């Protein structure tokens, strides 16, 4: 297995998800700014996200299936989003969020490890 192709995608997807989470939700702390301005800033941030996500998927496809890449991206998204919600927006994660995330993690297990064929 190509070690770079195996390790680069999760690292790049982590970075891309940080950018995309800020693009989608960072403006919620700046509700006094005009909507057109936050849209332009969000587009600029999203461009950086694409600069990481597209190569992550291109490189990762040498090692992972598209289903595995998508699952990896979703799990990383939840981790980044949970941290962002608590640390940046000051929101509280409830037990129901933890249960939902655990069920998604269980789904990720079946995508990557389950011997179902």
Summarize pLDDT for 65-98 with one digit per residue, the tens: 998 999 899 889 989 999 999 999 999 999 999 8
List alpha helices for 26-94, DSSP H: 35-60, 66-87
Predicted model pTM: 0.83
- H/E segment holding residue 101: helix 95-112
The pair phi, psi for residue 75, each rounded to 5°, is -65, -45
């Amino acid at each position: 297995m190509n070690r770079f192709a195996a390790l680069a995608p999760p690292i790049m997807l982590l970075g891309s998800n940080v950018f995309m989470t800020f693009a989608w939700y960072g403006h919620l702390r700046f509700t006094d700014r005009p909507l057109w301005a936050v849209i332009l800033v969000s587009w600029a941030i999203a461009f950086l996200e694409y600069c990481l996500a597209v190569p992550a998927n291109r490189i990762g496809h040498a090692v992972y299936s598209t289903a595995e890449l998508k699952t990896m991206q979703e799990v990383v998204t939840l981790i980044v989003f949970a941290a962002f919600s608590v640390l940046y927006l000051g929101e509280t994660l409830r037990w129901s969020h933890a249960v939902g995330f655990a069920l998604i993690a269980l789904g990720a297990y079946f995508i990557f490890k389950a011997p179902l064929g």
